[in-house]
Amino acid sequence: MTVEDYSGKIRVLAGEVVSRIAAGEVVERPAAVVKELIDNSLDAGSTTIRVDVKGGGLGLIRVIDDGEGMSRTDATLAFQRHATSKLVSELNLSSIRTMGFRGEALPSIASVSKVKVVTACRHEPVGTQLLLDGGQVTEVHDIAAPQGTQVEVAALFFNTPARKKFLKAAATELAHISHVVQQASLARPTIQFHLTHNGQALLQFPAVASHRDRVMQVYHRRFVEHCRAVRGTGPGLCVEGFAISPEHARTSRSPQELFVNGRAVKNATVSHAVYNGYGSFLAKGRHPVFVLFLDVDPERVDVNVHPTKREVRFLDQDTLHREIRRAVRESLGAHPTSIQSTGLPSRILEGSAQSEVTVTSRPSPGGEPASMRDAGSRSTGWEDTVRQAYLPLASGTGLSEQGMRAKEPPFRYEAAPEVDVRPLGQVNRTFLVVQVGNELQVLDQHTAHERVLFERLQRAWAEQAMPSQPLLIPEPVELSPQGAALVEQHASELEKLGLLVEPFGSSSVVVRAVPAMLGRLDSASLVLDLVEDLGQWDAGPSLEAKVRPVLATLACHAAVRAGREMDLPEIKQLVEDWVREGFPATCPHGRRVALRLPTDELARIFGRG
């Protein structure tokens, strides 16, 4: 594409859309400016976001990102009211996937301050510098700049002295800013964040792979040690996070962080459900402390209810309440999160000046079993698994029809998927590219398959229909003496899951049969991972809570792994299975399954909208 073809991304919203968005003043204090600028940087796809403030934000606020940047036309348009690249028609209002969508933040900020923007995008050979004073553009010129955007806000509220009077001391405003940066960091662990105040580093969070690692960076290690991992799924929703053990509950309510689809919000239903989950575990006058990440189908949550998007409304409050309450309740019976330490630099200041906490991240819970990640590791059980799971489609597998039926899951789906699934291909033998209805979707083949298997396993478990498949050659597994004892102790429960394991000497077991519906898998590494789950078994408050991690481990081991080539019919089958399960957004460990891009979004990107 040439520079001349680039028509710009920002449009001014039509009147009827404007009338439907929850309008209002977004800039009430410096922290609100920081939040809006970070939101914009996130929406621009940045990987590093740096926030510099002076004088509690009243002197200066500067946010620098390495996102997609803006063209000269866009940079000027961005400061008009209701100019946005994120919302095209009111139809999009029901499924907002970006942090911003109203096109209000930049004009509101600019109207009460002096702004300097330096931005450069891929589409234009040079960058743009824009100066505004009280909302009026005073200067626009070319400038050499790296791709990304830097917004500087000085003299905040210089023209609204009444507002300025309501501000608190710089230290208080700085605390609010610091909280905003923490929230954004918690919501997006894979993005690197920095915060400086008067030139001094305040927060520094290098990119990490999981929420767990980011929580470790943001809070004192002791906090995390005192927490329980919370995990739960319900129809169209998935919750993950940490909640304090009742014995460490606090007299204050902080932190109580809730993130819904990556947005920090307050929600009375969720808070109520958490308190309810603790029930009588909580001593009088004590409050739970929690950090919860909730993933909800964007169609089932309305983010357009509050001017600063601080609140959301859920379509199905009852299910939400029930699932959160259950997830919290279940976590309280479990062992502490047992997070250990490694070399991640943690927060620098804030109270515990200069204290560097180092933490170890264990392999991410959503990761594939360690034994399978190693190149050239033991068996390639996954290939057989895939072949069996998609047997009707794979050619030349040589297995008889009868054998096929014997391995079919002991249940049937009632409905065929309502949407058309057109497989398009595979990227890096890891991601599937598919058209589903009128969405372009990219799925992680491992997490998608893992989730499908997990749902099937859960149903089969509930129906007590988990037949086992004897191994032709029983497989011995070396464990620790404690591990072997654990397996022996829980042999009868494992048998109910279709896994037949017998003691074999003092520190080994032998696997005789595995759950039939999973096909062949690397039973040795499966048992090694199960030992960890069994360690938690006795602490589980309910049978369901005990079994869930075991089922998740089974699904993880049986799922097709990254690196495995899949042909179009296999891709179609897997994606249809996932669609039939209701498009679950994450794998049982909380890792994302799919990236969904509606075709009208594509049309907009290509200037057809």
Interface positions with ligand ADP (CB under 6 A):
9-10, 36, 40-41, 43-44, 65, 67-70, 78, 83-86, 100-106, 149
Pick 40 or 458: Cβ nearer Mg ion: 40
CB of 105: closest distance to Mg ion in angstroms? 4
Strand 301-302 vs strand 263-265: parallel, antiparallel, or unpaired? Answer: unpaired
Pick 10 or 443: Cβ nearer ligand ADP: 10
Residues 26-85 that bind Mg ion (CB under 5 A): 40
Q: Contact 555/577 with Cβ under 8 angstroms?
A: no
CB of 62: closest distance to ligand ADP in angstroms? 12
Residue 44 binds what, of ligand ADP, Mg ion, none (CB under 5 to 8 Å, by partner type)? ligand ADP
The residues with which 57 forms a beta bridge, in sequence order, are none
Question: Is 100 among the residues that bind Mg ion (CB under 5 A)?
Answer: yes
Q: Give the 3-state secondary structure of residue 478.
A: strand
CB of 116: closest distance to Mg ion in angstroms? 18
Instruction: Considering only the stretches 99-107, 168-176, 189-197, 317-325, report the one whose residues sit in contact with Mg ion under the rule CB under 5 A.
Output: 99-107
CB of 211: closest distance to ligand ADP in angstroms? 24
Distance CA 57, CA 61 (A): 5
Distance CA 472, CA 523 (A): 13
Q: Which residue has the tokens 């589409």?
A: 123
Q: Give the ranges where 188-316 is alpha helix by DSSP (H).
A: 211-218, 221-225, 268-278
Residue 183 binds what, of Mg ion, ligand ADP, none (CB under 5 to 8 Å, by partner type)? none
Residue 149 binds what, of Mg ion, ligand ADP, none (CB under 5 to 8 Å, by partner type)? ligand ADP
Pick 103 or 127: Cβ nearer Mg ion: 103
Question: Omega before 474 cis (within 30°)?
Answer: no
Distance CA 441, CA 536 (A): 36
Q: Provide CB contacts within 8 A for 56, sequence distance 6+.
A: 30, 169, 170, 171, 172, 173, 174, 177, 197
User: What single string gives the DSSP state of each residue in 90-147?
Assistant: GGGGGG--SS--SS-HHHHHHHTSEEEEEEE-TTSSSEEEEEEETTEEEEEEEE---S
The phi, psi pair for 214, rounded to 5°, reads -70, -40
Residue 78 binds what, of ligand ADP, Mg ion, none (CB under 5 to 8 Å, by partner type)? ligand ADP
The phi, psi pair for 390, rounded to 5°, reads -115, 35
CB of 87: closest distance to ligand ADP in angstroms? 7
Pick 130 or 486: Cβ nearer ligand ADP: 130
CB of 30: closest distance to ligand ADP in angstroms? 16
Question: Is 267 among the residues that bind Mg ion (CB under 5 A)?
Answer: no
Pick 100 or 135: Cβ nearer ligand ADP: 100
Q: Give the 3-state secondary structure of residue 607.
A: coil
CB of 302: closest distance to ligand ADP in angstroms? 16
Question: Is 13 among the residues that bind Mg ion (CB under 5 A)?
Answer: no
CB of 8: closest distance to ligand ADP in angstroms? 9
CB of 394: closest distance to ligand ADP in angstroms? 45
Q: Which of 26, 42, 64, 105 binds Mg ion (CB under 5 A)?
A: 105
Pick 63 or 484: Cβ nearer ligand ADP: 63
Pick 83 or 497: Cβ nearer ligand ADP: 83
CB of 63: closest distance to ligand ADP in angstroms? 7
CB of 65: closest distance to ligand ADP in angstroms? 5
Q: Provide CB contacts within 8 A for 386, sequence distance 6+.
A: 394, 560, 564, 566, 570
Show the tokens assigned to 269: 């239903």
Pick 100 or 515: Cβ nearer ligand ADP: 100
Q: Give the 3-state secondary structure of residue 1.
A: coil
Q: Give the ranges where 351-480 is alpha helix by DSSP (H).
A: 370-373, 381-389, 401-407, 445-462
Instruction: Considering only the stretches 94-102, 312-320, 416-424, 478-486, report the one whose residues sit in contact with Mg ion under the rule CB under 5 A.
Output: 94-102
∠499-505-507 over CA atoms, to 5°?
75
Q: Which residue has the tokens 């009111």?
A: 90
Distances (CA, A) of 10 to 6, 299, 599: 12, 24, 18
Pick 88 or 566: Cβ nearer ligand ADP: 88
Residue 368 binds what, of Mg ion, ligand ADP, none (CB under 5 to 8 Å, by partner type)? none
CB of 175: closest distance to ligand ADP in angstroms? 24
Instruction: Considering only the stretches 8-16, 98-106, 240-248, 339-347, report the one whose residues sit in contact with Mg ion under the rule CB under 5 A.
Output: 98-106
**Using the 8-state DSSP alphabet, how is residue 558 labeled?**
H
Pick 43 or 576: Cβ nearer ligand ADP: 43
Residue number of the CB atom closest to ligand ADP: 100
Instruction: Considering only the stretches 48-56, 102-110, 326-334, 537-545, report the one whose residues sit in contact with Mg ion under the rule CB under 5 A.
Output: 102-110
The counts of H helices and E strands in the chain are: 20, 24
Pick 119 or 388: Cβ nearer ligand ADP: 119
Residues in binding contact with Mg ion, number by CB under 5 A = 3
Distance CA 462, CA 7 (A): 55
Distance CA 418, CA 503 (A): 48
> Which run of H or of E encompasses 431?
strand 431-436
Q: Give the ranges where 412-511 is alpha helix by DSSP (H).
A: 445-462, 481-489, 491-496
What angle, 0 to 180 degrees and rounded to 10, lies between the N-to-C axes of helices 317-333 and 268-278?
A: 30
Pick 39 or 213: Cβ nearer Mg ion: 39
CB of 180: closest distance to ligand ADP in angstroms? 15
Residue 67 binds what, of ligand ADP, Mg ion, none (CB under 5 to 8 Å, by partner type)? ligand ADP
The residues with which 597 forms a beta bridge, in sequence order, are 440
> Which run of H or of E encompasses 321?
helix 317-333
**Using the 8-state DSSP alphabet, how is residue 50 labeled?**
E
Pick 100 or 483: Cβ nearer Mg ion: 100
Residue 388 binds what, of Mg ion, ligand ADP, none (CB under 5 to 8 Å, by partner type)? none
CB of 152: closest distance to ligand ADP in angstroms? 12
Pick 83 or 227: Cβ nearer ligand ADP: 83
Residue 531 binds what, of Mg ion, ligand ADP, none (CB under 5 to 8 Å, by partner type)? none
Residue ranges in contact with Mg ion by CB under 5 A: 40, 100, 105
